[in-house]
Structure 1
């Protein structure tokens, strides 16, 4: 899996870091994590999940039939957690560098703490 991760992929892995989830739960959690900026469509989500399963970053935890339809619950794998941790650290360093530059050039109350 390439890094940096695309934001939807990052958010899918982040959502699964909490607990296994099924597709609809993932769509809702990604929307929540992104404050509504990312709205995954089912086709996009399942395409991403297929790629993540193929890359061994996500695995199917269990399957069940609900209202006559198959529902798969996905979980983050150990390699998926490692990729998420590396990407999170990369992003943290980038935020820290940008925050330091902004503080040096444009002191603002919006940059006083909590950002990095």
Structure 2
């Protein structure tokens, strides 16, 4: 049984579903994806990316030196795509159930 994915992990993987990104790109995309409700800090992001690499969900896509600093871009692995797809489907089903129940009670759209 797969455990529910935490929101920051879901958003990080969702950001990478659009293609490889470096850390700052993930941080800005995460804010955009969540209407600024999730603001990842660099330390939190890189700890999560390290964990996701160990779990086989993301990989380093490229490395380059920019202004004397190492910049890594990260990408989803096939396992990462599969895990994100399963989680997105789980969330979709849950949202549909909630909306269906609200309609039955006359609340909501």
Common fold: TM-score over 0.5:
yes
The structure 1 segments of at least 4 consecutive aligned residues displaced by more than 3 Å after TM superposition are none
2:28 corresponds to which residue?
28
CA offsets per residue over residues 60-97 of structure 1, 9 Å max, x none?
Answer: 00100001000000000000000000001100110010
Distance 1:68 1:17 in 2: 28
Specify the SS of the correspondent of 2:71.
strand
Residue 18 of structure 1: SS of its match in structure 2?
coil
What's 1:43 paired with?
Answer: 43
> What does residue 90 of structure 2 align with?
90
The 2-side partners of 1:28 and 1:106 are apart by 38
Cα offsets for 1:5-50 (capped at 9, x unmatched): 1001000000000010000000000000000000000000000000
TM-score when scaled to structure 1? 0.90
CA distance in 2, matches of 1:50, 1:92: 27
Give the superposition deviation at 1:107.
Answer: 3.6
Q: What is the 5 A alignment of 1:1-116?
A: 3-108=3-108, 111=109
What is the root-mean-square deviation of aligned Cα atoms in Å? 0.9
**TM-score, normalised on structure 2?**
0.96
8 Å Cα contact 1:57/1:76 also seen in 2: yes
CA distance in 2, matches of 1:42, 1:22: 11
